[in-house]
């Protein structure tokens, strides 16, 4: 990974109760919503064990050192030759996790209660997508990249209604050093992204750091924290020494008077 100068600490909202808290993020007045100590050590340990030992936990083909449990819509679209329904025939991993820890339902409940119109699961061509994915990064990092459903699935009418895509991560395990989340206030269209794409096959999901400059903000979560930020902007994870495990999903903002979309 190419080194970078340290960014400014993220500007954050430390509470999530009402529309006004969300609007600070959507309007760019803050970089993230940061809920500290949302989960306790025992809950985190139970979920890490669940993820690490689950038979469906697998590695990414194009991102060395990163494991996942659960379906990623982006990966499913790229790997199933259009058989979306078949890929989602398995049980949504969030259903199993609810039997391990109530913190997952509590997180969904806080989001639903704080947004006046609640949540709606994203349905793609009649297939209801899954609502969460766990990722475990072991001694690795994530290159600068974006997540933008309206750009990736521009033929889908629902995806095109998403004005801003958010990433929600509950941090279950953090390395002793490193593992910071970095963000750039920069969005790339498809042509720009391809032009700046990393040429290394294992890193080709991201763009080159030397092409985008230093990050605008960074935040280092600790065990049990929740961080919500704009995925449509470039973001990355710094190299860590040890394991970094998150439980996460996406939210799609479509306007103040519509439910937030949820998917993974």
- E-assigned strands of the chain? 8-9, 12-13, 32-35, 58-59, 66-69, 119-121, 123-124, 127-128, 133-138, 142-145, 164-173, 177-178, 181-183, 217-219, 226-230, 235-237, 240-241, 243-253, 260-263
Helix (H, G, I), strand (E, B) or coil at 145: strand
Torsion of CA 172, 69, 236, 179, to 10 degrees: 30
Q: Which residues, at least 6 apart from 156, have a Cβ–Cβ distance to it below 8 Å?
A: 124, 125
For the chain, what is the mean pLDDT? 91
45: pLDDT strictly greater than 90: yes
Q: Tell me the pLDDT tens digit for each residue of 57-86.
A: 987 766 667 889 998 888 777 765 667 878
pTM of the predicted model as reported, rounded to 2 decimal places: 0.93
CATH topology of domain 8-263: Jelly Rolls (2.60.120)
Q: Tokens for 72?
A: 């990623």
How is residue 138 written in tokens? 């072991």
The pLDDT value given to residue 80: 57
Q: How far apart are CA 262 and CA 227, in angstroms?
A: 16
State the pLDDT at residue 81: 61
Confidence of residue 250 (pLDDT cuts 50, 70, 90): very high
Q: How many helices (H) and strands (E) does the chain have?
A: 9, 19
Q: Is 28 helix (H, G, I), strand (E, B) or coil?
A: coil
């Amino acid at each position: 990974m190419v080194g970078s100068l340290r960014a400014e600490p993220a500007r954050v909202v430390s509470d999530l109760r009402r529309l006004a808290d969300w609007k600070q993020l959507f309007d760019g007045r803050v970089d993230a919503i940061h809920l500290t100590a949302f989960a306790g050590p025992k809950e985190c340990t139970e979920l890490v064990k669940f993820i690490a030992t689950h038979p469906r936990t697998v590695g990414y083909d194009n991102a060395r050192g990163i494991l996942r449990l659960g379906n990623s819509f982006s990966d499913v679209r790229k790997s199933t030759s259009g058989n979306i329904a078949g890929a989602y025939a398995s049980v949504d991993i969030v259903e199993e996790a609810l039997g391990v820890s109530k913190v997952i339902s509590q997180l969904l409940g806080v989001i639903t209660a704080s947004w006046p119109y609640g949540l709606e699961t994203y349905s793609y061509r009649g297939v209801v997508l899954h609502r969460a994915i766990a990722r475990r990064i072991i001694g690795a990092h994530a290159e600068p990249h974006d997540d933008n459903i309206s750009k990736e699935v521009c033929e889908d009418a629902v995806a095109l209604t998403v004005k801003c895509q958010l990433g929600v991560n509950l941090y279950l395990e953090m390395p002793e050093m490193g593992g910071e989340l970095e963000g750039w206030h920069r969005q790339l269209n498809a042509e720009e992204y391809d032009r700046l794409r990393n040429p290394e096959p294992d890193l080709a999901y991201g763009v080159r750091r030397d092409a985008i400059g230093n990050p605008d903000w960074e935040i280092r979560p600790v065990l049990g924290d929740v961080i919500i930020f704009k995925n449509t902007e470039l973001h990355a994870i710094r190299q860590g020494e040890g394991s970094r495990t998150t439980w996460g999903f996406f939210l799609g903002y479509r306007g103040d008077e519509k439910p937030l979309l949820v998917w993974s």
